[in-house]
Chain A
């Protein structure tokens, strides 16, 4: 993943060099993944979306003259494709359009968490608001997404991303410092939210699991 090589890789891919293309997509895939996750798509849906994004990008290479335009193009196409895939599935399921993030989350194996610190971090994330979790998933994308791209995905003004990021990281830090929630403690001071709503497997920390956690109290 070498974002600084994008101009060179883009030129190589345009000239027909498959190795350049594959290296370029190493950068692009991180964005596609982050956007799809941020919009609540699961792993199979992500594959469907990615397939179209990479095919489109192959067809679009000659039109992307400005390397700086790559991220914006990828984010917009990915976002649209996510909506298409979700909508097709929803129609096929014969269901009313549910909130996108209501889709079931893949289980994340607790055993994947190597250190105590990671377990604490994972536990704190689960207790963070779903909005913050979505935002932090996008902010932590590797290679990074611009605030403009994150704003587009979340449907929020660009100017709000920086402050929200700071606020969400602050909340995460506070949860970490508070330590593991005690179910008997009821409400966390200041948080206004039930402290521990669930324990056990940490589900999809990035965005979707949040929905699974939130679902119960939504309506």
Chain B
């Protein structure tokens, strides 16, 4: 058994040497911490079509496949009430469209925050509908403010390249 441990130690040393932890992982983490906010209710991801194998990719005019719309659902409980944010992101040629729905339907200010620092603010109408175009690249989250209450979704990856 201790032979196993010795061999494993050697493996650790080898991996450390040929494949050390990329310092950029820690840089990303340091940057992420600046996004820390304690003022908002967290809406966790409840649905993501990307984890559903059945998602159908579209087909472009030239016959190549394209990424189908991505559907995301987020949920939180605010003051005892279930709140949901549903989002559909449709990729276009270099220009993606995000369409969202707040449930229960209500007007609110919706911020789309990109981890790059970009923030796009739009208003949801009285039916709780909102739209952002184009969608910035990289991890995103939504921050929904209405009156004094703020609900913020968890971050989701969004790869456009």
The interface of chain A, by Cβ under 8 A from chain B, is: 13, 16, 18, 21-22, 25-26, 28-30, 32-33, 37, 43, 46-52, 54-63, 80-81, 83-85, 87-89, 91-92, 94-95, 97, 108-109, 112-114, 117-118, 121-122, 125, 136-137, 139-140, 142, 165-166, 169, 172-173, 202, 204-206
Interface residues of B in 109-158 (CB under 8 A from A): 115, 138-139, 141, 152, 154-158
Residues of A within 8 A of B21 (CB): 29-30, 33
In the bound assembly, the distance between CA atoms of A218 and B138 in angstroms comes to 34
Interface residues of B in 21-59 (CB under 8 A from A): 21-22, 24-26, 28-30, 32-33, 35-36, 38, 42, 48, 50-51, 53, 55, 57
CB-CB < 8 A to A165: which residues of B?
4
Cα A13 to Cα B38 with chains together (Å): 12
A165 CA to B26 CA, complexed, in Å = 30
B51 engages A47 (CB within 8 Å): no
Q: Chain B's nearest CB lies how many Å from the CB of A123? A: 11
| Interface contact B154-A59, CB-CB below 8 Å | yes
Q: How far is the CB of B70 from chain A (nearest CB, A)?
A: 8
Question: Once the chains are docked, how many angstroms separate the CA of A21 from the CA of B3?
Answer: 36
A26 touches B26 (CB 8 A): yes
Contacts of B50 in A (CB 8 A): 83-84, 87-88
Residue-wise interface mask of B (1-31) relative to A, using a CB-CB cutoff of 8 A (1 in contact, 0 not)? 0011001101111111111011011101110
CB distance A88 to B157 under 8 Å? Answer: yes
Considering the complex, give the chain B residue whose CB is closest to the CB of A20.
B33
Interchain CB contact under 8 A, A50 and B25: yes
Q: From known contacts A43-B22, A48-B157, A49-B157, infer whether A54 and B11 are also in contact, taking CB-CB under 8 Å.
A: no
Q: A142 to chain B: which residues have CB within 8 Å? A: 12, 16
Main secondary structure of the interface of B (DSSP, over half): mixed
Choice from B10, B13, B18, B161 contacting A92 with Cβ under 8 Å: B161
Q: Which of A54, A81, A94, A137 lies in contact with B29, CB distance below 8 A?
A: A54
Counting chain B residues whose Cβ lies within 8 A of the other chain, the interface size class is: 35 or more
* A205-B15 in contact given A81-B157, A84-B50 (Cβ < 8 Å): yes
Closest to B57 in A: A91
Instruction: Check A51 against B139 for contact (C-beta < 8 Å).
Output: yes
- Residue from the list B18, B48, B138 in contact with A84, Cβ < 8 A: B48
Alpha-carbon distance A21/B35, docked complex (angstroms): 13
Task: List, sorted by A's number, 27 A–B pairs whose CB atoms are closer than 8 Å.
Answer: A16-B36, A18-B30, A26-B26, A29-B29, A47-B22, A49-B157, A51-B115, A51-B138, A51-B157, A54-B29, A55-B141, A58-B32, A58-B33, A62-B38, A83-B51, A87-B50, A87-B51, A94-B64, A97-B53, A112-B18, A113-B17, A117-B10, A136-B8, A169-B8, A172-B7, A173-B7, A206-B15
